[in-house]
Chains A and B, each alone.
Chain A
């Protein structure tokens, strides 16, 4: 699947274009299983050729959302439109979507060729065309030498490729991927992630992936919907989700973040001042505050956006925190310093190990200063 040169990442953002035609629309979707509400009054729009990720912990409703598009579940309320057509009452075998299952769901009594050809045979395509399409798919996933193998005669990675080829063979309008890389080891998973993005770009299909792995969602998707308890908390590009999370939940779910309880002391159109109890220095953030003066808020900052130093900074009254090194996690590429602040809370700061240090300049129980730029942090209210 990999090419000699990776594709140039397109400038693709139909969600910012008010004239763009929505491709998949969830409108007021609610899904109940008995008393359990899996999806709660949800609206979502996905555009053509988009690689869209549904991200959330297990039980957040992401799989249900996908299964409703595939036709395995009917929404209790609301409707789903695909390319303008209402999908209500259309059984799975008549929908223009194909799904790659988490368990791969390969047919054990059929060999690789028969598995890939299965969907094409249902369409009653002429034999020559089926053969040609199967060959094309085998080539696409680099499984030509395994055409006559049965699924149980293959490794996990190969099975995953068969499942992918089978779901792509019918050239669906939308490909649904349910935790497709969950069963692979880390190396293989990373490789496959890049292959998937290349493939999606080449084929020009709309891909929707369900995953609980934030790294996977960040690598693959054009946009991510972060879900919690049947609701979408935020829909945005990976960079926006990381840099501008709209809630503590999203900030916490994606990557590492330090969150401190704070109070708002001043606020203007482009600046917010906060105080953190027990910290002498004021905190300034160069963005508008969602809360009003006097309210409680959270100050959030990513570990890599803090500068750690043994030296006293020039400015100690604003955006400077003093503390003691509590713990150090050396991960090779980066080191994570756990710093215990004066008020007792512990924050993390990451330092990239750009040079090969024989001895660490900062070590346990050192008194350090943490400083950060005015645009580095975030103010969250929820």
Chain B
């Protein structure tokens, strides 16, 4: 196989990365722009970050988003993990195929459909739209992602470890917390982070089910942009990008470290007689 970087490969790689990251880079650069005009560079400044901080509407939206994000991630992780366990453990119950299919459905369902159907549900139930409806909607779609992530870990989980724990006198619930959970924890944490990210940047579903007083940050940004892009928006977007990037880097470092640790331990084991 040809593994050298050919002229063709180099070009397509460069173009691909430019296509992906130039817009983001522009956004970051212009968040430090002195000028109010987003397209004209007038020197470095952090004044838009200060301005953003003083923009009460923006800050309120950020606070709502963070609260919804954390609550969504936590509740969706618990529900998604339980769902994954049920699908993994009870392999013979009526409608299992339907269930496992249904857990993947929200992953491919257009946001518009999910949002609209949830809105119809809340209206039918006469549920006042606001913070709680957004939270419920976010839990609904993100728990499927958690279930998928956790389930992929459970597939390779050696169930004889649970049997061994029970055999040694550990009741099932304690076995879950002492053996199963610590071993699937990386997947559960990954699921939590995924749910948090999904909740933080959701716009479409939130727009459908939100009500007065529950404007999330993406909604706020979107509505402000319609009145014209301000450097303030660039500033808050830069912060969001920073948070997400940091999260991704931490997560990949964690898995990389675990992998290196495991490889090192295996070498050690092979070396000892």
Interface residues of A (CB under 8 A from B): 70-72, 91-95, 97-99, 101-103, 105-109, 118-119, 122-123, 150, 152-155, 158, 166-167, 170
- CB of A258 to closest CB in B, whole Å: 41
Contact call A152/B269, Cβ cutoff below 8 A: yes
Instruction: Please list 21 pairs of residues, one from A and one from B, whose beta carbons are closer than 8 Å in the complex, sorted by A's number.
Output: A91-B166, A92-B167, A93-B167, A93-B169, A98-B168, A99-B163, A101-B160, A101-B164, A105-B158, A107-B161, A107-B165, A107-B179, A118-B165, A118-B170, A119-B169, A122-B174, A152-B269, A154-B272, A158-B272, A167-B168, A170-B169
B169 to chain A: which residues have CB within 8 Å? 93-94, 119, 122-123, 170
Per-residue CB proximity of B206-250 to A under 8 Å, as 1/0? 000000000000000000000000000000000000000000000
Residue in contact with A153 in the complex, picked from B163, B269, B273, CB distance below 8 Å: B269
Interface residues of B (CB under 8 A from A): 158, 160-161, 163-172, 174, 179, 182-183, 262, 265-266, 268-270, 272-273
Given A118-B168, A150-B265; 7 other pairs, CB 8 A cutoff? A72-B167, A99-B163, A107-B165, A109-B183, A154-B272, A167-B167, A170-B168
A118 to chain B: which residues have CB within 8 Å? 165, 168, 170
Contact call B168/A119, Cβ cutoff below 8 A: yes
Residue in contact with B167 in the complex, picked from A98, A107, A123, A152, CB distance below 8 Å: A98
Contact call B265/A99, Cβ cutoff below 8 A: no
- CB of A16 to closest CB in B, whole Å: 32
Docked pose: A91 CA to B169 CA in angstroms: 9
Quick one: closest A residue to B182, CB to CB? Answer: A109
Docked pose: A142 CA to B43 CA in angstroms: 72
A99-B269 in contact given A109-B183, A118-B170 (Cβ < 8 Å) = no
Docked pose: A153 CA to B262 CA in angstroms: 9
Contact call A155/B163, Cβ cutoff below 8 A: no
Docked pose: A70 CA to B168 CA in angstroms: 10
Residue in contact with A105 in the complex, picked from B164, B182, B268, CB distance below 8 Å: B164
A150 to chain B: which residues have CB within 8 Å? 265
A154 to chain B: which residues have CB within 8 Å? 269, 272
A105-B170 in contact given A150-B265, A153-B265, A155-B270 (Cβ < 8 Å) = no
A93-B170 in contact given A72-B163, A103-B158, A152-B262 (Cβ < 8 Å) = yes
- CB of A73 to closest CB in B, whole Å: 11
Residue in contact with A155 in the complex, picked from B166, B174, B179, B273, CB distance below 8 Å: B273
- CB of B72 to closest CB in A, whole Å: 28
- CB of A237 to closest CB in B, whole Å: 29
Most chain B CB neighbours (cut-off 10 Å) among A93, A95, A97, A150: A93
B161 to chain A: which residues have CB within 8 Å? 105-107
B273 to chain A: which residues have CB within 8 Å? 155
A70 to chain B: which residues have CB within 8 Å? 167
Contact call A122/B269, Cβ cutoff below 8 A: no
Contact call A122/B160, Cβ cutoff below 8 A: no
- CB of A23 to closest CB in B, whole Å: 19
